[in-house]
Chain A
Amino acid sequence: QVQLQESGPGLVKPSQTLSLTCTVSGGSISSGPYYWSWVRQPAGKGLQWIGRIYTRGSTNSNPSLKSRVTISVDTSKNQFSLKLTSVTAADTALYYCARGGGNFPNWYFDLWGRGTLVTVSS
């Protein structure tokens, strides 16, 4: 079955760029009417949607993070990636990748990675 796995550095220095990759296994990232998202969760807090990408390449992101977020997809590697620039301690969180699906007016995330902890500290 399809699985998602996040990867990337667990420690990032303040003001630097956080870079994460989500690898899709067991199926093609290009198949199906799906979109691919990043969601984060600071310790003890709720889920925050970061952004999404469609395999055609169009992206959207959370307005609170928009100027710092870049999401890209590499269909040849079956991966999509997140870059978050100018990080601060407030960006310390568990980062999840997730598969979105559905159609209007029903959207949902039916598949999640296990998450990867990113700590911003010098």
Chain B
Amino acid sequence: SSELTQDPAVSVALGQTVRITCQGDSLRTYYASWYQQKPGQAPILVIYAKGYRPSGIPVRFSGSSSGDTASLTITGAQAEDEADYYCHSRDNSGDHLDVFGGGTKLTVL
């Protein structure tokens, strides 16, 4: 399968914990990477591999995976975390093509 499925929208109260999920058959083979995109800006990588954070990404961002589902967790969400979040992986085709999830709009209340 070449599809990654995300919930279109999720909300969280300021300071609370939120989990954003990404589901797809290929996630049984590949890790997901996660991207944050704010309005008018390019995406930035926030999580890759087994939950690693690039330099500069706050520790409140974490990642995990189980079976066909990958999760991005924000522990203690801040107002500045309000953004669109996309998962990415490769598919199970012979060419192992890159694929993005449809994105999740996170609202911080």
Contact = CB atoms under 8 A, between A and B. Distances in A.
A107 B47 CA distance: 11
Interface stretch (A15-23, A25-33, A41-49, A68-76): A41-49
A34 interface: no
Contacts of B86: 46-47
A108 B33 contact: yes
A73 B54 CA distance: 27
Number of chain B interface residues as a range: 20 to 34
Contacts of B50: 106
Binding site secondary structure of chain A: strand
Interface stretch (B13-21, B37-45, B75-83): B37-45
A102 interface: yes
Contacts, number: 69
A107 B90 contact: yes
Contacts of A115: 42
Interface in A94-122: 96, 100, 102, 104-110, 112-115
A46 B103 contact: yes
Nearest to B31: A106
A60 interface: yes
A110 B52 CA distance: 12
A109 B33 contact: yes
Contact of A107 (B33, B43, B95): B33
A68 to B, nearest CB: 16
Contacts of B43: 47, 96, 109, 112
29 contacts: A39-B100, A46-B84, A46-B86, A46-B100, A47-B88, A47-B100, A47-B103, A48-B100, A49-B88, A60-B95, A96-B42, A96-B43, A102-B48, A105-B30, A106-B30, A106-B33, A106-B48, A106-B49, A106-B50, A107-B31, A107-B33, A107-B90, A107-B98, A108-B88, A109-B35, A109-B43, A110-B45, A110-B48, A112-B44
Given A46-B86, A96-B42, 9 more contacts: A46-B103, A47-B37, A47-B88, A47-B103, A48-B100, A49-B97, A62-B97, A63-B97, A105-B31
